[in-house]
């Protein structure tokens, strides 16, 4: 399954909301889609799994939704520490795959 | 506290081999599936390999199939990635990760810091 994220880069200011998209080339089994945040030089951090379940410790401003082929990740009000790269990931069937990433940049 | 520590990364010549290890602690290693994920310099994440908790199910990305082999030693809480016929395209930071839950297919909650592999003459 190929995952295509959009946009590649999103320029926003702190306090604004962000919406990231992830489209799969075919339906993802049981909405087994996760979202990760990665900062430079760091390992990825799981934020959302099962399309919409926040991982332990994930702030409530982060949310995920979607099913089938279309998934969305949202940040309600951006904090300075949220500017990073975000990846979607499907684990519904092998081979597992990641999207190419969306870079969230400060305007 | 859950910890994953990768080791074994090195500079290796094209065509060479390398064996990566990942030591898990702070959890019952044999209960969880594990993955290897890599990231080439300046690029995105690429899933490499999956191994279920008791090694009954193993799968690989097409880009490494036939060249890489993952295995685990549950008695010693160790995960391995044997990499053969290495090429320039295998240069990357290699991460091991642990499943979020004990389900066979799961997202990746815990990650190590990674071990760098450089393939160059």
- Write the pLDDT tens digit of every residue in A39-60: 999 999 999 999 999 999 999 9
- Write the pLDDT tens digit of every residue in B37-67: 999 999 999 999 999 999 999 999 999 999 9
pLDDT computed for residue B75 by the predictor: 98
**Residue of B27, B45, B46, B110 to mutate when probing chain A, most A C-beta within 10 A:** B45
Beta bridge partners of B119: B12
**Closest residue of B to A55, CA-based?**
B109
CA distance A18 to chain B (A): 20
Both structure tokens of A21: 């998209």
CA distance B110 to chain A (A): 8
- Write the pLDDT tens digit of every residue in A87-97: 999 999 889 99
| B63 CB-near residues (< 8 Å, 6+ apart) | B46, B89
pLDDT computed for residue B105 by the predictor: 86
CA distance B31 to chain A (A): 18
Peptide bond connecting A27 to the previous residue in cis, omega within 30 degrees of 0: no
Both structure tokens of B58: 């193993």
User: Are A49 and A55 contacting, i.e. CB atoms less than 8 angstroms apart?
Assistant: yes
Angle of CA points B71, A36, B31, to nearest 5°: 35
pLDDT computed for residue B57 by the predictor: 93
- Write the pLDDT tens digit of every residue in A10-32: 999 999 999 999 999 999 988 89
The 3-state DSSP class for residue A15 equals coil
- Tell me the mean pLDDT in the region B83-99: 97
Residue B103 pLDDT class (50, 70, 90 cuts)? confident
Closest of A13, A14, A12 to residue A79, by C-alpha: A14
Q: What does the DSSP assignment read for B32-57?
A: S-EEEEEE-TTS-EEEEEEE-TTSS-
């Amino acid at each position: 399954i190929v995952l295509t994220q959009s946009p590649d880069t999103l320029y926003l200011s702190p306090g604004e909301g962000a919406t990231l998209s992830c489209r799969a080339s075919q339906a993802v089994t049981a909405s087994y889609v996760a979202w990760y945040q990665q900062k430079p030089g760091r390992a990825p951090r799981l934020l959302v799994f099962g399309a919409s379940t926040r991982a332990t410790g994930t702030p409530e401003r982060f949310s995920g939704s979607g099913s089938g082929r279309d998934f969305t990740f949202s940040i309600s009000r951006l904090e300075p520490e949220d500017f990073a790269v975000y990846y979607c990931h499907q684990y519904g069937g092998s081979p597992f795959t990641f999207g190419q990433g969306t870079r969230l940049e400060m305007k | 506290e859950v910890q994953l520590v990768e080791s074994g990364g090195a500079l290796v010549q094209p065509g060479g081999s390398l064996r990566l290890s990942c030591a898990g602690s702070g959890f019952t290693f044999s209960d969880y599936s594990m993955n290897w994920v890599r990231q080439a310099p300046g690029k995105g994440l690429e899933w490499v390999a999956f191994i279920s908790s008791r090694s009954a199910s193993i799968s690989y990305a097409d880009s490494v199939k036939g060249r890489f082999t993952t295995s685990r030693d549950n008695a010693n809480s160790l995960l391995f990635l044997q990499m053969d016929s290495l090429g320039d395209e295998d240069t990357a930071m290699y991460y091991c990760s642990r499943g979020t839950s004990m389900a066979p297919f799961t997202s990746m909650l815990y990650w190590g810091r990674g071990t760098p592999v450089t393939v160059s003459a």
